[in-house]
Amino acid sequence: MSKRRKSPEESRAKRKNARLEAGATPGPLHPAAQPSAGHPALSVTRGVVVSKSGNCVIPASPVLACGIDSLDLGFHVDWGENWFFLRNELESAKEAATGTDGILWRVFDGEGSLILPGGRAPCYRFHLKLPYAHVWIAKSQKARGNSNLFVSFESKTLRTDGVEKAVEKVRRLIAALDGRVESITVNRCDLAADTLIPGGLPLDLLLDSTVSRATKREMHIGTDGLETFYIGSKSAPLRARLYDKGKEMLQGNGKSVFLLGLWDLDSPQDVWRVEFQMRRIFLREMKILHFHELMNSLGELWDYATRTWTTLRLSDNPNPSRRTLHPWWEGLQDCKSMFGGIVKVRRSLKAEMKFSAGKSKQQILGHLVSFGAYRNVTDFHEAVDLFLLEVEGDLTRQEFGAKVLKRRIQNGFEKADAYGRWEGSGEYPPDWDSV
Identify the residue with better confidence: 77 or 57.
77
Helix (H, G, I), strand (E, B) or coil at 145: coil
Q: Closest Cα partner for 58 from 272, 225, 334? A: 272
State the average pLDDT over residues 307-317: 92
Identify the residue with better confidence: 16 or 35.
16
Q: Which phi and psi angles does 23 have, rounded to 5°?
A: 105, 0
Q: How confident is the model at residue 219 (pLDDT cuts 50, 70, 90)?
A: very high
Does residue 326 have a pLDDT over 80? yes
- pLDDT tens-digit profile of 381-415? 877 877 877 777 676 766 676 667 766 666 555 55
The pLDDT of residue 33: 33
Q: How confident is the model at residue 375 (pLDDT cuts 50, 70, 90)?
A: confident
Question: Can you give the pTM of this predicted structure?
Answer: 0.71
Tell me the angle at which helices 349-375 and 380-391 cross, rounded to the nearest 10 degrees.
90
Q: Which phi and psi angles does 346 have, rounded to 5°?
A: -90, -10
Distance in angstroms (rounded) separating the CA atoms of residues 315 and 50:
21
Q: What is the sign, positive or negative, of the torsion defined by CA atoms of 147, 152, 157, 158?
A: positive
| List of E strands, 58-216 | 63-78, 103-108, 111-116, 124-130, 133-138, 149-153, 180-196, 210-212
The pLDDT of residue 14: 59
- Provide DSSP, 26-79: PPPPPGGGS--TTS--EE--TT------SS-----PPEEEEEEEEEEEEEEEE-
How many H helices and E strands in the chain? Answer: 14, 14
Least confident of 183-187, 320-324, 349-353, 382-386: 349-353
Q: How confident is the model at residue 336 (pLDDT cuts 50, 70, 90)?
A: confident
Q: Which amino acid is at 378?
A: T
- Establish whether the linkage from the previous residue to 117 is cis, with ω within 30° of 0: no
Helix (H, G, I), strand (E, B) or coil at 139: coil
The pLDDT of residue 45: 35
Q: Are 172 and 108 in contact (CB under 8 A)?
A: yes
Distance in angstroms (rounded) separating the CA atoms of residues 199 and 353:
28
Distance in angstroms (rounded) separating the CA atoms of residues 250 and 253:
8
Q: How confident is the model at residue 4 (pLDDT cuts 50, 70, 90)?
A: low
The pLDDT of residue 351: 40
Q: Residue 219, class by beta-carbon neighbours within 10 Å (0-12 exposed, 13-18 middle, 19+ buried)?
A: buried
- pLDDT tens-digit profile of 176-185? 999 999 999 9
Q: How confident is the model at residue 347 (pLDDT cuts 50, 70, 90)?
A: very low
Q: Are 185 and 289 in contact (CB under 8 A)?
A: yes
The ranges assigned to domains in the chain are 42-65+189-338, 67-188, 349-421
Does residue 107 have a pLDDT over 50? yes
State the average pLDDT over residues 35-42: 38
Distance in angstroms (rounded) separating the CA atoms of residues 382 and 363:
19
The pLDDT of residue 59: 60
The pLDDT of residue 83: 96
- pLDDT tens-digit profile of 122-179? 899 999 999 999 999 999 999 988 999 999 999 999 999 999 999 999 999 999 999 9
The pLDDT of residue 255: 80
Q: Which phi and psi angles does 192 have, rounded to 5°?
A: -140, 150
Mean pLDDT estimate for the chain: 79
| Strands of the 149-153 sheet, one edge to the other | 42-43, 217-222, 225-231, 238-244, 271-279, 180-196, 63-78, 149-153, 133-138, 124-130, 111-116, 103-108
Does residue 31 have a pLDDT over 60? no
Does residue 60 have a pLDDT over 60? no
State the average pLDDT over residues 16-33: 40
